[in-house]
Amino acid sequence: MSGGAHAMDETIRNELFEKREEKYKAFILKLTPTLKEEEVIGVRMPALRQMAKKTAKQPDALTLVAEPRYYEERMIEAITVGYLKKNLAEKKDAVHGIVKKLDNWAICDSFCSTLKMKPEEKEAYFDFIKNYFLSGKEYESRFAAVMSLNYFAEQPYMDRVLAHFEEINHQGYYVKMALAWAISVFYTKDPKKIENYLNKQTLDRFTHNKAIQKITESNRVTKEEKDHMRELKRK
């Protein structure tokens, strides 16, 4: 791959423009309202993942995706870091660099789902993400919440995550929606625990009710459970 030092590789950028679809660009903009039209090329996620996997195998992977200009380039940069065959200690700085730059839910959530970990790494990863719960920044807190629902929806982590959720006081929409989503995932793992948690009413009303809505929309929850959970909605 060609390209100057510390700038997005021209081969990657050219390939993105070859793969662009105007209709898909409109779809991305509708789905991610925080993006500006001039930021988006219009490339589908499977193609971005394929490009990121290829890039992650290069010895200079992080240089190839440096200084992204477009949404798709920022997505490739993030998931390339996720795909790096390195343990957390080796790529912690790169992961932190991506988290600090997160500014939309799509890159945040795709980054989280790509950042797979081995069982023996879970404690180190949890120790790493817990600092972001209380960062005071919307997408850093969302990163912590989405990592939690992806990888820590089980004991011994669930209780620790729920305690951190109570500490978040960020009013951002994308934080609250991530918390609601996480709680609905946790409910499918331990319904009684989450029912008790919601009964404590430690979450704000919007997040509390959104969590219940997501629980009742889940196809992994019985009709009886859904009916019961609706009774816990706050007026």
| pTM of the shown model | 0.94
Q: DSSP secondary structure string, the chain?
A: ----TTS--HHHHHHHHHT--HHHHHHHHHH-TTS-GGG-----HHHHHHHHHHHHTSTTHHHHT-S--SHHHHHHHHHHHHH-S--HHHHHHHHHHHHHH--SHHHHHHHHHH----GGGHHHHHHHHHHHHTSS-HHHHHHHHHHHHHH-SSTTTHHHHHHHHHH-----HHHHHHHHHHHHHHHHH-HHHHHHHHHTT-S-HHHHHHHHHHHHH-TTS-HHHHHHHHTT---
- In a shared domain, residues 97 and 148: no
Q: Domain boundary residue among 97, 116, 135? A: 116
Amino acid at 229: M
Q: How many folded domains does the chain comprise?
A: 2
Confidence bin at 6 (pLDDT 50/70/90):
low
Among 76, 93, 116, where does a domain finish?
Answer: 116
- Token digits of residue 185: 């995932």
Are 187 and 168 within one domain?
yes
- 177 and 83, same domain (yes or no): no
State the residue range of the domain holding 160.
Answer: 122-235
Encode pLDDT of 72-86 as tens digits. 999 999 999 999 999
How many Å apart are CA 43 and CA 20, to the nearest integer?
5
- Residue 141 sits in the same domain as residue 180: yes
Q: Is the pLDDT of residue 29 over 90?
A: yes
Average pLDDT of the residues of the chain: 95
57 and 150 inside one domain? no
Q: Using CA atoms, how far apart are residues 51 and 68, in angstroms rounded to an integer? A: 14
- For residue 106, pLDDT over 50 is answered with yes
Q: What is the pLDDT of residue 169?
A: 78
Listed residues 92, 116, 140: the one ending a domain: 116
